[in-house]
Amino acid sequence: MFNKVLYIKYHTTALKLGITAFKTIPFKSEKSFINGQWVSAQSGKNLDVFNPATGTLVGTVPDMNTADTQIAIDSASKAFETWKNTTAKERSQILRRWYSLMLENQNTIAEIMTAESGKSLQESNGEVIYGNSFVEWFSELARQVRGEVIPSSDRSKKILIHHQPIGVVGLITPWNFPHAMITRKASAALSVGCTVVVKPGEDTPLTAVEIMKCAEKAGFPPGVINLLTSSRENTAEIGRLLCKSPLVAGISFTGSTTVGKILYSQCAPGIKRIGLELGGNASFIVYKSANLDKAVEGALTSKFRNCGQTCVASNRFLIQADIFDAFVDKLVAKVKNLKIGNGFDEGTQIGPLINEAQLHKVSNFVEDAVSKGAKVLVGGKPASHIGKLFYEPTVLSNITSNMLVYSEEVFGPVISLIHFNTEEESLHIANSNDVGLASYFYSEDISQVFRVSHNLEVGMVGVNVGLISAAEAPFGGIKQSGLGREGSHLGIEDYTYIKYTCLGNL
């Protein structure tokens, strides 16, 4: 076992979430959680986890492969035979304990998240609160899943409809929200009687480990919830086995559209249930009736949260010609004052990009735009004076349709400004792609609010707001942005099937 201990020393004043001071925390090597046991990889290999802000080692986890995956699947399959027969009240109580334990350990989870993802401590605490809200929500919803009695046309028959858990579910989650993406999926599946095998993002597995420690203490029976940590090199094979195994009834994946298509095709031979929350290219539209100060604040929230590394981050900012200059002046002034730095430093608003591949992508997108005539209003280059993976918050104007930033998701701190004249033109631009996750717009014209909201071809719309996620709301997209919904009362649908029972000769 790797026996190095790295002490990360930091101290910060209280932020907004009741945090006081932070102590020196040792990050040690961790194990994965399978069948109620903390285990190493069958191969004996480990994966190092680094802080993207500093490049320092923050811990290690097992580098698991398909051999470990099969053990996890077998364990989940065996556990399902009893977990499916637990009462809704029993599942609700365990989920509630899990929620309470993560609430008690919020600061620790947030600190680990900041250390391995680079996001600010304030954002990490916000994510823990958000992720916990799904466990709370589904702990309550577990007892609200109801069937139906449908009146029969034959007086001697009764028609009964009820929901049953589909079985073992593979949950493949990304690095950018290492707490919320696990809890949003797992709590829904567990609440209705499914068992789960969780494969977290390769860059941020330590948060997942901490979540599992809380799950173990909450009292989930062995095999009900399992964790597979692995390197990027083993991820594809693990995903393939989860998709093709006859013991796995469903897959839920959050990540890129490209990978989502691969998983979709791998599930096809088994006609497997699949939920996909994939990429987006969100538009942020500001109409001439908008409150510009609120629109600017919404733009900053929508774009720069997690350094722009969110699937619902706005990419194309469509500004009506009448107020284009006024909006841009206010926006650029705000962007210039954003603080870039280590997530543990007080006041940090923009952390690093997650890895070198993402840094190169953002740099390439900006360079492509500039080479084709875009104008840099602020930023436009790596912030290498701060650290290897930092990129300056950037605003580009003179954007045209032949630029990468126009048609593809940048997944970084880059705002691309496009002006338009009419509402029809704005909708044409916003809808002119093959993804449809989220869009945002600002308008004080109530008729326009209803028209635009109706005509935007996306699964989620933010009107006069830059942050739309909530446990009570159905999260998901249309077109190539995915299938299914997470959160809300609809969040259980990916994890249950409907059984119809006909009682005859009554």
The runs of H, that is alpha helices, within 179-272 are 180-191, 205-218, 232-244, 257-267
Please check whether residue 112 is in contact with residue 206, taking contact to mean a CB–CB distance below 8 angstroms: yes
Mind listing the pLDDT tens digit for each residue in 82-133?
A: 999 999 999 999 999 999 999 999 999 999 999 999 999 999 999 999 999 9
Q: How far is CA 15 from the centre of its chain?
A: 23
Which of 314, 321, 322 has its CA nearest to residue 297?
314
Is this prediction's pTM over 0.95?
A: no
- CATH architecture label of 282-468: 3-Layer(aba) Sandwich (3.40)
- Predicted confidence at residue 29, as pLDDT, reads 82
**Average pLDDT of the residues in 160-166:** 97
Largest pairwise CA distance in the chain: 80
Distance CA 180, CA 159 (A): 39
Helix (H) or strand (E) holding 476: none
One-letter amino acid of 130: Y
Tokens of 176: 């950018």
Strand-pair category, 282-286 with 314-320:
parallel
269: burial class by Cβ within 10 Å (0-12, 13-18, 19+)?
Answer: exposed
pLDDT reported for residue 10? 30
Residue ranges covered by each domain of the chain: 6-278+482-499, 282-468
Question: 365: closest CA among 396, 319, 331, 332?
Answer: 396
Greater confidence (1 vs 182) lies with 182
24, pLDDT greater than 70: no
Pick the CATH number of 6-278+482-499 from 1.25.40.10, 3.20.20.480, 3.30.930.10, 3.40.605.10: 3.40.605.10
pLDDT at residue 169, rounded to an integer: 98
Packing angle between helix 121-141 and helix 106-117, nearest 10 degrees?
A: 130
Please report which confidence band the pLDDT of residue 26 belongs to, taking 50, 70 and 90 as the band edges: low
pLDDT tens-place string over residues 477-496: 999 999 999 999 999 999 99
Task: Please determine, for residue 19, whether its predicted confidence score (pLDDT) is greater than 70.
Answer: no
Asked whether the beta carbons of 494 and 275 are under 8 A apart, the reply is yes
Distance (Å, rounded) from C-alpha 403 to C-alpha 2? 46
The closest alpha carbon to 208, from 183, 185, 191, belongs to 183
Look at 7-11, 218-222, 454-458 and tell me which has the smallest mean pLDDT: 7-11
DSSP label of 383: -
Q: What is the pLDDT of residue 192?
A: 98
- pLDDT mean across residues, the chain: 94
> Other CB atoms closer than 10 Å to residue 132's CB: what's the count?
25
Cα separation, 101 vs 159, in Å, equals 42
Q: Give the residue-averaged pLDDT of 221-232.
A: 98
Q: What is the pLDDT of residues 392-448, one digit of tens each?
A: 999 999 999 999 999 999 999 999 999 999 999 999 999 999 999 999 999 999 999
* Catalytic residue annotation: 277, 311
Interval 281-310 mean pLDDT: 97
- CB 164 within 8 Å of CB 147: no
Beta-strand relationship, 158-165 and 496-503: antiparallel
Write down the pLDDT at residue 28: 66
Q: What strands lie across the sheet with 148-150, from one edge to the other? A: 148-150, 158-165, 496-503
Percent pLDDT > 70 in the chain is: 94
Tokens in use for 205?
Answer: 């597995």
Alpha helix positions (H), 219-323: 232-244, 257-267, 292-304
